[in-house]
Amino acid sequence: GSRAEKERFVRSVRHADELPAGNWPALWEALGTAAYEPRLVWEPSELAALHDACGRELAELEQQHAIARAAGGRAAAAGEAEWEGGSFRVKYPPVEAEAYVAPYYLGPLVKALSGRRSEAEGCGPPVPPGFVAAVGAACAA
C-alpha cells in the first residue's frame, strides 16, 4: 500500500505492552524502500514473504497453544508453547541470490568499489589492485 495507508495503519494499532517501543513508522517506511548496497540488499516486494512467514509462524504457535491447553490447561500452554524466535528464519529469494561474504553482498560491493566512491565509503580498507576484477570474475562464474 501507499505510505499514507501504512501511516493510518500504524496510528490505528494500539501498541501492545509486550512489544518493544520503537519508531514503527520509520520501520515500515524502510521496508517499503529498495536498497542495493554493500551491507543491505532489499526489495519492497519481499514484504509478502515476510508477511507469509510471520503468518505461518503465528498459526503454528497458536496450534501449539491449543494442543498444550488440551493436554493440561493454561499453565501447560504457557510453559510448553513458547515462541522460539532464535530459530525463526525468512527466505527472501532475491536476497539469497546475492553472493554474500560477511558482512558484504558482493554484487553491490563490486559496484561500489568500481567507481561509485560515495557507496564505497565505510566498506573497509583500501582495495588492492586487481581485487574488483577478481571478485567480479568469481561472481560471474
Q: What is the pLDDT of residues 93-116, one digit of tens each?
A: 888 899 999 899 999 999 888 875
Residue ranges, the chain, pLDDT below 50: 77
- Any idea of the CA torsion for 91, 92, 93, 99, to the nearest 10 degrees? -100
Q: Which of 83, 84, 103, 107 is nearest to 94 (CA)?
A: 107
Residue 77 has what pLDDT?
A: 44
Q: Which of 126, 116, 141, 131 is nearest to 36 (CA)?
A: 116
